[in-house]
């Protein structure tokens, strides 16, 4: 896995773009691929910055709010 700096961020964006732009990729293949990226990012998060349960809970809450906003089920997560 590349070092997660600007290069690493662009690496994952390029991988997402390639997968999203390929009409031959099935939903099941896409989900499997997203899980692989998720494992890479989780590994990076767990090995570079120690986090406590409070930070994990806050991150989970923001992630859930963002997902709801993306699918128009909730307000923008960064709104005051």
Q: H or E segment at 10? A: helix 6-21
Q: Is a pLDDT exceeding 80 seen at residue 17?
A: yes
Longest dimension (CA), the chain: 41
Domain count along the chain: 2
* Res. 80 pLDDT band, cuts 50 70 90: low
Residue 13 is encoded by which pair of tokens? Answer: 């964006």
Compute the distance between CA of residue 39 and CA of residue 42 in angstroms, rounded to an integer: 5
Q: How much is the mean pLDDT over the chain?
A: 77
43 and 76 housed in the same domain: no
Compute the distance between CA of residue 23 and CA of residue 20 in angstroms, rounded to an integer: 8
Q: What is the mean pLDDT of residues 54-74?
A: 78
Q: Give residue 74's pLDDT.
A: 62
Q: Is a pLDDT exceeding 50 seen at residue 21?
A: yes
77 and 45 housed in the same domain: no
pTM exceeding 0.85: no
61 and 73 housed in the same domain: yes
56 and 76 housed in the same domain: yes
32 and 1 housed in the same domain: yes
Q: What is the mean pLDDT of residues 16-29?
A: 87
Domain that holds residue 70: 52-80
Q: H or E segment at 58? A: helix 53-70
């Amino acid at each position: 896995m590349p070092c997660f700096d600007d290069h690493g961020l662009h690496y994952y964006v390029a991988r997402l773009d390639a997968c999203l732009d390929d009409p031959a990729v099935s939903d099941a293949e896409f989900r499997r691929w997203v899980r692989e990226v998720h494992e890479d990012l989780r590994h990076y998060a767990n090995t570079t910055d120690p986090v406590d349960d409070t930070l994990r809970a806050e991150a989970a809450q923001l992630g859930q709010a963002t997902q709801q906003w993306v699918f128009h089920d909730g307000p923008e997560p960064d709104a005051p």
